[in-house]
Amino acid sequence: MTSYALPRRRGLFARLIGEADDFATWLIFGSETWLIAAMKAVPMFLFIYWLFTYVPNSVYYGITQYIPFLQLSAEVGFIVANGVAWTNVVLVVILGIAVQASRGRQGPGWLLLRLFVLANYVAVVLLLIPYFVFNVAGGHFIPLSLPLIALLLGAMTAGMGAVGLAYLYYEFRRITRREAQAAAASARAAG
């Protein structure tokens, strides 16, 4: 067993995965300003809000009203929805512990965990938050109602999310470049 990380492969796919892993590691564990902290925390708070409220509520209405062959009573729907909500709580706690354990570790499992968190963040910023805005502006899918203002506001929110992701990537490159320059200067001074 070695105490140093092996160099990355040089193929395009391997470089893209490595860059995504570096970005995910910085996004989860990196140093930040208050703006970066807010850009990371608000989408994750909204994800937790969606996971603990929207998902159980959708399950409740699905099994009590919308799925024709179920049509369970309100009491059974309440129990099932609470089971879904508490299962989500347990899964979030397990995911949080696993993500913290992935700090500084190499290997395909840890890489997949960090990439899952990154994909989750991207999905929240580009899909979930625009869905919230679409919903607040009067749009919904069951029953189908697509007012133009809701569609436009959802699309604008997705565009702003994409700009936010681009800014986060810019900050990642800027901060890691500065840290690499400081490390090189320190190595030159020591050696």
Q: What is the pLDDT of residue 4?
A: 57
How far, in Å, CA of 116 to CA of 122, rounded? Answer: 10
For residue 11, pLDDT beyond 60: yes
Residue 4 belongs to some domain of the structure: no
Mean pLDDT of 13-28: 92
Higher-confidence residue: 166 or 30?
166
Give percent above pLDDT 70 in the chain: 95
41 within domain boundaries: yes
Is residue 161 one of the residues assigned to a domain?
Answer: yes
Q: Is the pLDDT of residue 16 over 50?
A: yes
pLDDT at 42: 93
Task: Tell me what the mean pLDDT of segment 66-79 comes to.
Answer: 91
191 in any annotated domain: no
Is a pLDDT exceeding 50 seen at residue 2? no
Q: For residue 106, with 0-12 CB atoms within 10 Å meaning exposed, 13-18 middle and 19 or more buried, which class applies?
A: exposed
The pLDDT value recorded for residue 1 is 44
| Total number of domains in the chain | 1
Q: Which of the four pLDDT bands, split at 50, 70 and 90, describes residue 34?
A: confident
Residue 187 lies in a domain: no
Q: CB–CB of 127/121 below 8 Å?
A: no
Q: How far apart are CA 58 and CA 144, in angstroms?
A: 15
The answer as to whether 30 is a domain residue is: yes
Beta carbons of 81 and 60 less than 8 angstroms apart: yes
pTM metric for this prediction: 0.85
**C-alpha distances out from residue 53 to 17, 39, 71, 89, 132, Å:** 33, 22, 21, 11, 12
**164 in Cβ contact with 188 (< 8 Å):** no
User: What's the pLDDT tens digit per position in 142-187?
Assistant: 889 999 999 999 999 999 999 999 999 999 999 889 888 988 899 8
Q: Identify the domain containing residue 44 by its residue range.
A: 12-181
Q: Is residue 129 part of a domain?
A: yes
Distance CA 32, CA 27 (A): 9
